[in-house]
Amino acid sequence: MSQLELSEQEQFRRKALEELRKAGIDPYPAAEFVTNVSTTEIKENFKPEKKKYQDVSIAGRIMNRRIMGNASFAEIQDDKGRIQIYLRRDDICPGDDKTLYNHVFKKFLDIGDFIGVKGFVFITQTGEITIHAKELTVLSKCLRPLPIVKEKDGKIYDGVTDAEFRYRQRYVDLIVNPKVKQVFVKRTRIIDSLREFFNSRGYLEVETPILQPIPGGAAARPFITHHNALDIPLYLRIADELYLKKLIVGGFDGVYEFSKDFRNEGMDRMHNPEFTVMEIYVAYKDYMWMMDFTEEMIEKVALDINGTTKIKYGNEEIDFKRPFARKTMLDTIKEYTDVDITGMDEKQLREVCDTLGIETDETMGKGKLIEQIFDEKCEPHLIQPTFIMDYPVEMSPLCKKHRKDPELTERFELIVNGKELCNAYSELNDPIDQKERFLEQLKLSEKGDDEAMFIDQDFLRALEYGMPPTAGLGVGIDRLTMLLTNQNSIRDVILFPTMRPEK
């Protein structure tokens, strides 16, 4: 980038960089700066009468400053929060050389720069906890000005709101919008809470392939690549399911994985091409057991993250306290459409869709048609956590047929705020039935359904060695995070969401 392409502020900062070097100060020192406290720890624990924090070492980014001649105030931000610092020229520049204060702090350090400060904590006359700096160290020069953020009484009320900027330059978003960082702290805590729940029951966390010769375990359009050495196509995984069930065949009683999955489909506020899923499979269980397990799991996570089962999401208050409502899919469709689709064939279902004003195309089989009816006419009404059970067999190629009705499967989805959060089965472990289901998917593929499942011969072979009765569950981590942090878009809970390249 030439000087002509730089803004006036960027040119000034580069000149300041050179002035620091001329003054014999390295703007990017290599030596470690040891800290012994955080901003939050000081603010939460400082008591003047206890004489604590009289020898602190702290580092952070300058977020504002007020120059007042031979003394100044500044505010620095570390990983935990912000704190005010007080600098007096004669303290940080003992003796005759006042270069560090006059030449450096007053002229060539700016908002966004990193500094290290050593000193003691006191309370100002206005009652603000402050670090009185005795030493100042330049740690890193910021060459681009931060966006201007308006603050009042220590609170940000006009942060950076442009979505394109925030998602594309998340590193700046995190600097100037402290609430954004808390979303991602909570995201990590959600995963920790789930992991603790599974580990306490003795289930094993595993890793399965991301690059797969067959994209199995879900109905979705995959990303495809090519491996040069083997000269074969490979797919980015769309789900973990088939590999995890192979581990159940191999003798594990409970396995789970937090995985990045990839689907080459549309993007909207609920969908990103790269997303995070947790899948767990437990031997000798069924979907009724898994419903109880899921209720307990979600309730625990809500309590761990927010200290209550009740959350605010948009204009809704959602309560994750057990037990959740349970409804069958066909009863729910009848409830919201006044149409009983039980036993209908593909032609009849198309007629129902036409009557209800639901758009369809010729590639859709019975399963997709039923899914369209449910998604458009039922899901938006399901705000509180609700288990939708017993899906038609055409919708669930990997799911065991219902023990009482072979037209249905032992499957449930947990719907919250009108969107799927979890999907679970009594897993199909009959290899002959599974092969027939795969062949039905092949017919859909031949009709033009590019989300139909591939036939996975290795998975069929694994089932032929015998898989015990098994319950499986998938949880969308991004959607769970959206709910528990009150975020409207999946891009607000993914640090670096997929974006169109900059021009």
Bridge-based pairing of strands 155-158 and 211-212 is unpaired
The answer to whether position 356 is within a domain reads no
Same domain, 396 and 481: yes
Instruction: Render pLDDT for 336-384 as a digit per residue (tens, 0 to 9).
Output: 999 999 999 999 999 999 999 999 988 888 888 999 999 999 999 999 9
Mean pLDDT of the 56-81 span? 94
Residue 152 has pLDDT above 70, yes or no: no
Mean pLDDT of the 80-88 span? 95
**In sequence order, what are the residues at sequence separation of 6 or more whose Cβ sits closer than 8 angstroms to the Cβ of residue 83?**
39, 42, 43, 58, 60, 75, 76, 129, 130, 131
Same domain, 131 and 197: no
Same domain, 296 and 192: yes
Q: Quick one: CA dihedral 334, 339, 340, 345, positive or negative?
A: negative
Q: Total domain count for the chain?
A: 2
Residue 265 gets which letter from DSSP? S
CATH number of the domain residue 398 falls in: 3.30.930.10
Same domain, 315 and 446: yes
CATH number of the domain residue 139 falls in: 2.40.50.140
At 250, give phi and psi (nearest 5°).
Answer: -75, -10
Give the mean pLDDT of the chain. 92
Contact 13, 142 (CB under 8 A): yes
> What are the C-alpha distances in Å from 151 to residues 125, 148, 154, 277?
21, 10, 6, 38
The answer to whether position 283 is within a domain reads yes
Burial of 95 (0-12, 13-18, 19+ CB in 10 A): exposed
Q: Strands, DSSP E only, in 159-306?
A: 204-205, 211-212, 224-227, 232-236, 254-262, 274-283
Q: Quick one: CA dihedral 121, 125, 129, 134, positive or negative?
A: negative
Q: What is the pLDDT of residue 97?
A: 72
Mean pLDDT of the 95-112 span? 81
- pLDDT band (50, 70, 90) for residue 449: confident
**Whole-model pTM over 0.85:** yes
Mean pLDDT of the 479-498 span? 97
Same domain, 292 and 393: yes
The answer to whether position 118 is within a domain reads yes
The answer to whether position 226 is within a domain reads yes
Rounded distance, CA 77 to CA 39, Å? 8
Same domain, 112 and 227: no
Q: What is the pLDDT of residue 363?
A: 84
Burial of 360 (0-12, 13-18, 19+ CB in 10 A): middle
Per-residue tokens: 357:
């004003």
Residue 486 has pLDDT above 90, yes or no: yes
Rounded distance, CA 472 to CA 294, Å? 11
Residue 252 gets which letter from DSSP? -
Same domain, 316 and 445: yes
Same domain, 246 and 319: yes
| Cα–Cα nearest to 479, from 426, 413, 427 | 413
Same domain, 266 and 208: yes
Contact 293, 275 (CB under 8 A): no
The answer to whether position 46 is within a domain reads yes
The answer to whether position 76 is within a domain reads yes
- pLDDT band (50, 70, 90) for residue 51: confident
| Cα–Cα nearest to 438, from 460, 458, 455 | 455
Q: What is the pLDDT of residue 151?
A: 60
Residue 415 has pLDDT above 60, yes or no: yes
Range from 34-43, 93-102, 122-131, 297-306 carrying the lowest mean pLDDT: 93-102
Range of the structural domain that residue 486 is part of? 180-324+384-492
Same domain, 281 and 239: yes
**In sequence order, what are the residues at sequence separation of 6 or more whose Cβ sits closer than 8 angstroms to the Cβ of residue 188?**
none
Per-residue tokens: 443:
């017919």
Same domain, 141 and 188: no
Mean pLDDT of the 28-43 span? 96
At 377, give phi and psi (nearest 5°).
Answer: -105, -15
The answer to whether position 501 is within a domain reads no
Q: Which of 98, 131, 146 is the last residue of a domain?
A: 146
Same domain, 218 and 267: yes
Angle of helix 457-464 versus helix 431-447 axis, rounded to 10: 160
Angle of helix 287-306 versus helix 178-199 axis, rounded to 10: 140
The answer to whether position 334 is within a domain reads no
